[in-house]
Chain A
Amino acid sequence: MADPATKHSPLATLTVPDRLTGGTADVSLTERPFLGKLVLRGGDGIHDAVRPVLGLDLPAPLRSAASGRLQVLWQGPDSWLIVGERETVGYTEEALRVAASGLHAAVTDVSSGTTVLRLAGPAARDVLLKGCGIDLEPPAFGTGSCTPTRVAAFAVTLVQIDDAPTYDLYIARSLARTFAEWLIDACGE
């Protein structure tokens, strides 16, 4: 049995084919495990309150924002996902609570609820389009764009990281394995 004190990625036992990890293929698939994640929800006043803590403005709808240590993803009206290393996210959580006290707001650690799959390379967009119905071509969706959407049967938060293009896909832990296998299959041609 697995040691309960050891962290386990939901994809720890997944074998990604060499052709998707070699760096030379048209597309690569890697996991970014164990990131810290916070859901920030808040209405009026939340932007001004958290700006000094995050060191950046909360992104507008369908956008993401990043400082050196944190990435902030728009998830819906009044909802953002804040992503970074666990330790950074840990003290950010406390600071956000203090900054948002007195406001109608909530800060929730959801680090272990999702994992992140990174899909990169010239063919990455075509792979996603096998299961995603939204327009992923710039300018409709480009670097910095971010949206919760549907890929195949899965609810994912999709972020474009750069023009390679590189995408981060946030997927619920319980569905990560199935989703990763779907992606591997979709990368097959």
Chain B
Amino acid sequence: MLLIPCPHCGERPENEFSYGGDGTVERPTDPAAVSDADWHAYVYRRANPKGPHVEYWYHQFGCRSWFKVRRDTHTHEILPLEDETS
């Protein structure tokens, strides 16, 4: 089982969390100006990297916070989040 570092509760077992998907997807700021193809890409299309992946996790059985984790999808290693605005 993964040990996931919650920013509020520390490392907790994976079964306290829900996976929230790709953490890098940004909602278009002006939906009306977005083409159907781009909107489809925003809603459905996701990269499926083998390697580091920034993703959302929700501490459902804990403090109920959403946060980002950078995880290697191949080794399951939890990596430090790069300096990004989150």
Residues of A in contact with B (beta carbons under 8 Å apart)? 61-62, 75-77, 79, 133-134, 147-150, 155
A133 touches B63 (CB 8 A): no
Bound-complex Cα distance A76 to B61 (A): 11
Q: Decide if the interface of chain A is mainly helix, strand, loop or mixed.
A: strand
* B38 at the binding interface (Cβ < 8 Å): no
In-complex Cβ contact of A77 among B8, B10, B15, B61 (8 A)? B8
Bound-complex Cα distance A62 to B64 (A): 13
Whole-angstrom distance between the Cβ of B83 and the nearest chain A Cβ: 22
- Interface size on B, as a range, is 10 to 19
B8 touches A133 (CB 8 A): no
Bound-complex Cα distance A40 to B64 (A): 15
Residues of B in contact with A (beta carbons under 8 Å apart)? 1, 8-10, 12-13, 15-16, 60-65
Whole-angstrom distance between the Cβ of A20 and the nearest chain B Cβ: 25
- CB contacts (< 8 Å) of A62 on chain B: these are 9-10
Chain A, residue nearest B10 (CB): A62
A150 touches B65 (CB 8 A): no
A76 touches B8 (CB 8 A): yes
Q: A77-B65, A134-B12 are in contact. List 14 more A-B contacts (CB 8 A).
A: A76-B62, A76-B64, A77-B63, A133-B1, A134-B13, A147-B9, A148-B63, A149-B12, A149-B61, A149-B62, A150-B13, A150-B15, A150-B16, A155-B61
Chain A, residue nearest B3 (CB): A133
- CB contacts (< 8 Å) of A147 on chain B: these are 9, 62
